[in-house]
Amino acid sequence: MKTLRATLSTLLSLLIVFPIVYSISASFFQYTDFTALPARLFPSRLNIGNYVRAFSESFLARFLLNSLLTAIAGTLLRMAISILAAYTFSFFTFKGRNALFILIVATMLLPSDALIIANFMTIRALRLTDTYLGIIATSLLAPTHIFMLRQYFRMMSVEYREAAIIEGCSDSRFLSMLLMPMSKAVILTLAIHSFSTIFNDYLWPLLVTNKTSMRTVQVGLTMMGFSEQLDYGPQFAAITFLMTPILIVFIALHKPIIESVSIRFTGR
């Protein structure tokens, strides 16, 4: 049983890692390597010219800057709103609390594409097209994040907060010094999800940006045009370069998440 589980885990890992490895390898391909038979997994000769062309024949650096700014700002604002909303729904009692929470959760049933026209009309009416705020505006409220954080916070005993208040601890200090550290695993997981979702978004940035200087990487990548014949090398070079931020975020945060989960369930 253990051998079967290890085999399946290995195969699944290879399936997940293969596209990343191939993308990195293909970014160094010569043009003839893509048409070679049998198909190549590794380049016949390293061709760093693909990276030079990717940067020189497109606004790749600007696209990446736009995506990083919107992803970081959007993630921070989304997580701040979600944490505060979840804390309110978990530890405060006020009239209409449950009805408001149900209303927020109900919006999860609405497909995002069904709201995109209305959202675009609103952003255009507010003259926020071709702005960073316009790009991240629809990402600020995340009902799924609020729901998951609220459910996690409710696992904490209300007595923790009551004891902290009696000792003179404010709500802001209780939230930042006690509740958030205890919820680090779920907060970091949702933060990674938010960053990758906003960073990889395509349709919404395409609608609200008209200037090339405001395009994000996902939109800009599809607009990359290279002279002469269709050459996949520079495109794979751009894709490989644009994968870097997501990989860095995951590598930097996956260890704290694992440690937090281990402490939570094993007490060590």
pLDDT of 96:
87
More confident residue, 262 or 38: 38
Contact 68, 245 (CB under 8 A): yes
CA distance 127 to 134: 8
Angstrom distances, CA of residue 235 to CA of 17, 35, 114, 196, 219:
19, 16, 32, 20, 13
Domain spans, the chain: 18-266
Contact 153, 86 (CB under 8 A): yes
What is the pLDDT of the chain when averaged over all its residues? 84
pLDDT digits 0-9 by tens, 60-94 = 888 889 999 999 999 999 999 999 999 999 888 88
Task: For the beta carbon of residue 105, count every other beta carbon within 10 angstroms.
Answer: 14
pLDDT of 77:
96
* pLDDT over 70, % of the chain: 92
More confident residue, 223 or 107: 107
CA distance 65 to 40: 33
Domain 18-266 class, CATH top level: mainly alpha
CA distance 268 to 266: 5
Q: In the predicted model, is pLDDT for residue 263 greater than 50? A: no
CA distance 175 to 29: 51
CA distance 140 to 76: 9
* pLDDT over 90, % of the chain: 25
pLDDT digits 0-9 by tens, 165-215 = 887 888 888 888 888 888 888 898 899 889 989 998 999 999 999 988 899
Q: For residue 229, what pLDDT band results from cuts at 50, 70 and 90?
A: low
pLDDT of 262:
52
| Omega within 30 of 0 (cis) for the link into 38 | yes
Contact 206, 135 (CB under 8 A): no
pLDDT of 76:
95
pLDDT of 260:
54
Q: For residue 267, what pLDDT band results from cuts at 50, 70 and 90?
A: very low
Q: What is the three-state SS of the chain?
A: CHHHHHHHHHHHHHHHHHHHHHHHHHCCCCHHHHHCCCCCCCCCCCCCHHHHHHHHCCCHHHHHHHHHHHHHHHHHHHHHHHHHHHHHHHHCCCCCHHHHHHHHHHHHHCCHHHHHHHHHHHHHHCCCCCCHHHHHHHHCCCHHHHHHHHHHHCCCCHHHHHHHHHCCCCHHHHHHHHHHHHCHHHHHHHHHHHHHHHHHCCHHHHHHCCCHHHCCHHHHHHCCCCCCCCCHHHHHHHHHHHHHHHHHHHHHHHHHHHHHHHHHHHCC
Angstrom distances, CA of residue 83 to CA of 22, 32, 61, 87, 152:
38, 52, 33, 6, 11
Average pLDDT for 40-66: 82
In terms of C-beta density within 10 A (0-12 exposed, 13-18 middle, 19 or more buried), how is residue 213 classed? exposed
